[in-house]
């Protein structure tokens, strides 16, 4: 029983510019079958976007029905549109024994722990210093000054909550950080849900 392929959760958090997407892309072929959790939204699909790739696009009525059914891990109403993390594809992936990967902020990590804590492994990914984070944000040349300053303020707040995570990966060297994250992901698959632990204990006592 214990060696079955478990459906488990891997939470990745960290400031924008920490390299979370680059690390996942680098280890994707080495961590087995996984599902990358995609947010659900009611906003209109933009040019170049694909349903099920960038977001799950639904109507406001569909979204609110899923709220009523308690099928969101977390959600918010932003500028008239809903955004949230649906539990339906997550539960489906877990039932198939997949590693479910979340790229979420510290509040999202708390929500995952509250709902799926017994099968969750959490990782905070960070550049080595705040100044290095600023350098990376400016090097992307995608954000204006206000956005960069806001991202750095957010990073200062998030860094104070690293102790809430199981692991800290400092992304100074991408290859080294990727190897560490790969080992964490492989180990995360060995986590046993509480119901299966209880079942094993009961069967063990009956032997």
pLDDT in tens, 120-166: 999 999 999 999 999 999 998 777 899 899 999 999 999 999 999 99
How far apart are the C-alpha atoms of 156 and 89, rounded to whole Å?
Answer: 32
pLDDT in tens, 183-204: 999 999 999 888 888 888 988 8
**pLDDT confidence band for 57 (50 / 70 / 90):** very high
How far apart are the C-alpha atoms of 60 and 66, rounded to whole Å?
Answer: 10
- How does 56-93 read in b/e, with b if 16+ C-beta sit within 10 Å? bbbeeeebeebeeeebbbbbeeeeeebbbbbbebbeeb
> Three-state DSSP class for 71?
coil
6 is in which domain, residue-wise? 1-33+99-202
- Please tell me which of 45-49, 72-76, 98-102 the model is most confident about, judged by mean pLDDT: 98-102
Q: What is the pLDDT of residue 109?
A: 92
Could you tell me if residue 207 is inside a domain? no
Are both 119 and 47 inside the same structural domain?
no
Are both 193 and 115 inside the same structural domain?
yes
Q: What is the DSSP letter of 173?
A: S
Are both 131 and 85 inside the same structural domain?
no
Q: Is residue 1 over pLDDT 60?
A: no
Q: What is the pLDDT of residue 3?
A: 45
Q: What is the pLDDT of residue 47?
A: 87
**pLDDT confidence band for 4 (50 / 70 / 90):** low
pLDDT in tens, 75-112: 888 888 999 999 999 999 999 999 999 998 898 899 99
Positive or negative: CA dihedral 43, 23, 157, 142: negative
Are both 91 and 167 inside the same structural domain?
no
Q: Is residue 2 over pLDDT 70?
A: no
Are both 191 and 116 inside the same structural domain?
yes
Q: Provide the number of structural domains found in the chain.
A: 2
Q: Specify the higher pLDDT residue, 52 or 119.
A: 119
Are both 108 and 153 inside the same structural domain?
yes
Average pLDDT over residues 4-18: 88
pLDDT in tens, 167-182: 999 999 999 999 999 9
How far apart are the C-alpha atoms of 3 and 41, rounded to whole Å?
Answer: 37
How far apart are the C-alpha atoms of 70 and 86, rounded to whole Å?
Answer: 9
């Amino acid at each position: 029983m214990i060696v079955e392929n478990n459906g488990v959760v891997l939470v990745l958090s960290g400031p924008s510019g920490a390299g979370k997407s680059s690390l996942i892309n680098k280890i994707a072929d080495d961590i087995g079958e996984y599902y990358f959790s995609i947010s659900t939204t009611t906003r209109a699909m933009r040019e170049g976007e694909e349903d099920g790739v960038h977001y799950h696009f639904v109507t406001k009525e569909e979204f609110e029905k899923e709220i009523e059914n308690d099928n969101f891990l977390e959600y918010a109403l932003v500028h008239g549109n809903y955004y949230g993390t649906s539990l339906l594809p997550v539960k489906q992936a877990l039932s198939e024994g997949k590693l479910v990967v979340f790229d979420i902020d510290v509040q999202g990590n708390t929500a995952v722990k509250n709902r799926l804590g017994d099968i969750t492994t959490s990782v905070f990914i960070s550049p080595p210093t705040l100044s290095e984070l600023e350098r990376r944000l400016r090097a992307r040349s995608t954000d204006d000054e206000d956005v960069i300053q806001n991202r750095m303020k957010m990073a200062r707040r998030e860094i104070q909550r690293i102790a809430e995570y199981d692991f800290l990966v400092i992304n100074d060297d991408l290859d080294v950080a990727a190897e560490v994250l790969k080992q964490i992901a492989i180990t995360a698959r060995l986590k046993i849900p509480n119901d299966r632990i209880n079942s094993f204990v009961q069967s063990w006592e009956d032997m």
